A and B are shown apart, each in its own frame.
Chain A
Amino acid sequence: MKKILLFVLMLSAPVWAQKDISVGPFGGFNIPILQSDAGAGSDFGVKAKFSPIPKIAGAAFFEARTFGDASKEVVGEEQTIDGGNVTSFGVEALIGNTGGGPGTHFYFFAGLSSYKWTRDYWEDVTEVGFHFGPGFEVVFPASIGLEFRAKLEIVPTDGGGSRKNGIILIGANYHIGLM
Chain B
Amino acid sequence: MNTKTLALAALLIATLIIGCGIITGTFTIVYEVEGLISSTQADLQYESIDLNTIDDYQKHKDKIKSVDHVAVVGTVFNYGNTPVSGEIWLAYSDTLDTPAEVRSVGTRVFVSPVIEPSELLEIEWEDGLSYIENFPAIQDAVEAGVFVIYGLGDSQFFYVVMDIDIIVTVTAGY
Q: Which residues of A contact B (CB under 8 A)?
A: 33-37, 55, 70, 72-75, 79-82, 93, 95-97, 108, 110, 120-122, 130, 132, 154, 156-164
Complexed CA–CA distance, A70 and B27 (Å): 11
B6 sits at the interface (CB 8 A):
yes
Beyond A95-B7, A110-B11, A157-B171, list 12 extra A-B contacts (CB 8 Å). A36-B169, A37-B26, A37-B68, A73-B30, A75-B163, A81-B129, A97-B3, A108-B3, A122-B130, A161-B65, A162-B22, A163-B171
Say yes or no: A74 contacts B167, CB within 8 Å: yes
In the A-B complex, the 4 residue pairs with the closest CB atoms? A34-B25, A161-B65, A159-B66, A161-B171
Q: What residues make up the interface of B, taking CB atoms closer than 8 Å to A?
A: 3, 6-7, 10-11, 13-14, 17-22, 24-28, 30, 32, 64-66, 68-69, 73-74, 124-127, 129-130, 163-165, 167, 169, 171-173
Q: Quick check: B125 and A74 within 8 Å, CB to CB?
A: yes
Q: Cβ of A96 and Cβ of B7 under 8 Å apart?
A: yes
Q: Give 21 pairs: A residue, B residue, CB < 8 Å, sorted on A.
A: A33-B25, A34-B24, A35-B26, A36-B26, A36-B169, A74-B167, A75-B32, A75-B163, A95-B7, A97-B3, A110-B10, A110-B14, A121-B126, A121-B130, A122-B130, A156-B19, A156-B21, A157-B171, A159-B64, A162-B21, A164-B22
Chain A interface helix/strand/loop/mixed: strand
* Given A79-B124, A93-B10, A157-B65, also A74-B26 (CB < 8 A): no
Q: Which of B17, B32, B169, B171 contacts A159 (CB 8 A)?
A: B171
Residues of B within 8 A of A73 (CB): 30
A48 and B65 alpha carbons, distance in the complex (Å): 36
Q: How far is the CA of A110 from the CA of B6 in the complex (A)?
A: 11
List of A residues within 8 angstroms of B24 by Cβ: 34, 161-162
Q: B25–A80 contact, CB under 8 A?
A: no
- A36: chain B residues within 8 A (beta carbon): 25-28, 169
